[in-house]
């Protein structure tokens, strides 16, 4: 059995239309109701409205990405119990609409983080890029987080100081906007709001945040089991601590803790090769073997690291991740299942005609279509070589 080919779509304001997606080879849609504030209930009416739009275009809504976890749940402060109950109701409403794979993450404050959204590649296409020196410039000189310098090596601190003195006010504003970009279609945090949110974690370390995730899962997994929902936890992006905040879904030991802490088939992962692959410590093939059939969704993306740990997003079959080995292992897991695991080509370079168009960072059409075509070809070759139909 093969994986299900899907495509992320951000709704009616997405520059890539459903009509465009039909031409890429994808048959399923990955989307979310980004207009609903974090923590609020997704009603059946709103879910059906989005589902009807997708199906009218000849596609299916296969995966939710994401039902965002309210910050109070992560910190266990304020009305966090109310938000857990509302999360449960959203899950039940999605199940009532026959949408059964739900992606989420447990990253504190910041979602995926990059320092450059238009990194120029040798072929003049544009990629997403993460650079420790620029992150330190933002953290120390723009965000002005207390004791921020303690989070960085002397090498990073020295280079960050040089860059801060060289950057114009316009360059610093652009860097700040890029780092605070967040999810397309959702409100971007201001610098003050971001600093305030970070301060709510001052008493929360890795162990505490892990216990909060375990508690959250203990509360929602029974609802998932009752409704045949598969949870797909997305790893941290990037997979290491930033802004002094603990990140707890970054490495093999984190995966082990999450799987064993709530040992239920509903408690699974969105296996993102770009997120896990940005850390040289992670052996992706071994991690796939461990998660096994609790891989409920797959993001296929590649990165290229340098000696400082900075990385850019490479073409899907290039980079530091052996995509052949990863795809072969994921397909091996698929043969144990009766239903196809959805995958999507995650991110993609801005290239060709898209360079002159407005696109969501990482989600231009042509770069992802190139990635999907390459991945489909790779999967066909792997499947034929192993007699997997």
| Residues catalogued as catalytic | 234, 272, 299, 346-347, 363
Q: Quick one: how far is CA 65 from the chain centroid?
A: 9
User: CA dist 204 to 77, 98, 247, 346, 366, Å?
Assistant: 11, 37, 11, 31, 42
| Residue 5 and residue 376 in contact, taking contact as beta carbons nearer than 8 Å | yes
CA-angle at 245, arms to 240 and 248, nearest 5°: 50
Residue 161 backbone phi and psi in degrees, to 5: -65, -45
| Residue 44 and residue 88 in contact, taking contact as beta carbons nearer than 8 Å | no
Q: Pull the structure tokens for residue 86.
A: 């509302």
Whether cis (ω within 30° of 0) applies to the bond prior to 211 is no
């Amino acid at each position: 059995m093969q994986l299900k080919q899907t495509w992320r779509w951000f709704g009616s304001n997405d520059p890539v239309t459903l009509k465009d997606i039909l031409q890429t080879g994808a048959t399923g849609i990955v989307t979310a109701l980004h207009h609903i504030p974090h923590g609020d209930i997704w009603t059946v009416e709103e879910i059906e409205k989005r589902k009807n739009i997708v199906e009218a275009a000849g596609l299916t809504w296969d995966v939710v990405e994401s039902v965002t976890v309210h910050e109070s749940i992560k910190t266990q402060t304020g009305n966090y119990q109310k938000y857990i109950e509302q999360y449960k109701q959203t899950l039940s409403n999605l199940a009532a609409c026959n949408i059964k794979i739900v992606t989420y993450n447990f990253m504190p404050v910041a979602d995926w983080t990059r320092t450059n959204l238009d990194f120029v590649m040798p072929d003049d296409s544009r990629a997403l890029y993460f650079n420790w020196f620029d992150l330190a410039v933002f953290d120390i000189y723009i965000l002005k987080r207390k004791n921020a310098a303690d989070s960085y090596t002397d090498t990073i601190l020295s280079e960050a100081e040089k860059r801060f003195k060289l950057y114009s006010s316009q360059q610093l504003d652009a860097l700040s906007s890029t780092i605070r970009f967040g999810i397309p279609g959702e409100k971007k945090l201001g610098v003050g709001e971001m600093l305030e949110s970070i301060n709510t974690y001052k008493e929360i370390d890795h162990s505490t945040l892990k216990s909060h995730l375990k508690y959250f899962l203990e509360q929602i997994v029974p609802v998932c089991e009752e409704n045949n929902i598969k949870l797909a936890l997305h790893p941290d992006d990037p997979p290491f601590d930033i802004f002094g905040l603990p990140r707890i879904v970054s490495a093999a030991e984190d995966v082990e803790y999450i799987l064993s802490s709530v040992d239920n088939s509903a408690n699974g992962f969105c296996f993102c090769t770009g997120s896990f692959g940005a850390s040289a410590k992670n052996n992706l093939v071994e991690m796939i073997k461990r998660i096994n059939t609790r891989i409920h969704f797959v993001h296929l993306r590649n990165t290229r690291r340098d000696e400082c740990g900075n990385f850019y997003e490479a073409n899907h079959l290039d980079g530091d991740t052996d995509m052949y080995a990863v795809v072969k292992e994921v397909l091996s897991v698929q043969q144990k299942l009766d239903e196809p695991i959805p995958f999507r080509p995650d991110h993609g370079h801005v290239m060709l005609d898209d360079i002159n168009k407005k696109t969501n960072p990482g989600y231009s059409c042509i770069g992802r279509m190139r990635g999907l075509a390459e991945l489909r070809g790779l999967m066909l070759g792997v499947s034929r070589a192993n007699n997997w139909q």
